[in-house]
Amino acid sequence: MNIQEVIVVEGKDDTVAVKRAIGADTIETNGSAVSFRTLEQIAHAFEKRGVIVFTDPDYPGRRIRAIIEEHVPGVKHAFLEKNRTLAPNGKGLGIEHATDEDIREALAAVYTRRDAGAMWQPTLTDLLEHRLTAHPAARLRRERLGDLLKIGYTNAKGLQKRLRMFGITAQQFEEAVRTLDQEEEHD
């Protein structure tokens, strides 16, 4: 796999995992308090080669994504589900615990923010109709939908934002929901 973009990760252990899996260049944020200097580096890398943000599937990782997206709009995002980032001892999670195959798969499914004028605008009604909010199974359905679309887990309000941010089309959304419904039928 040949990645031209610079991959933004949280720390040194994540860099080791990414380099082991694909040999790409990285920028480390050194935690969720992303410095102005690091944001400048990310912006420069974005202009020169492009950037893929690849942070842990937890609150600090989501916070880092939001900070970077705010300062460098248009970066690409890669996600791994929590169950693919758990430490072998079960105490902790992070990109550094993912297998090489999982890292390659996540980076192969990168999303880019598209022109806002052409994007589908998901509504609360869309989420209600598909039991993604105000339903006993909504949290589990959003979690699985995030896995299927490779956009990560978030609450209902965050899901609307993420669907827009990653340019998920109505067709992609409907196909993922159909898959989700079929999986539930077989359980």
Stronger pLDDT, 90 or 140, i.e. the higher one: 140
What pLDDT, in 10s, does the model give residues 147-174?
898 888 889 988 998 888 777 888 999 9
pLDDT of residue 115: 41
Give me the CATH code for the 6-113 domain, please.
3.40.50.140
Report, as an integer, the average pLDDT of 91-119: 79
Indicate whether this model's pTM tops 0.75. Answer: no
Domain boundaries, the chain: 6-113, 117-186
Which pLDDT band, with edges at 50, 70 and 90, does 116 fall under?
very low
What integer best gives the mean pLDDT of the chain? Answer: 90
18-41 burial, b if ≥16 CB within 10 A, otherwise e? beebbebebbbbeebebeeebbeb
Q: How far is CA 48 from CA 4, 5, 43, in A?
A: 10, 9, 9
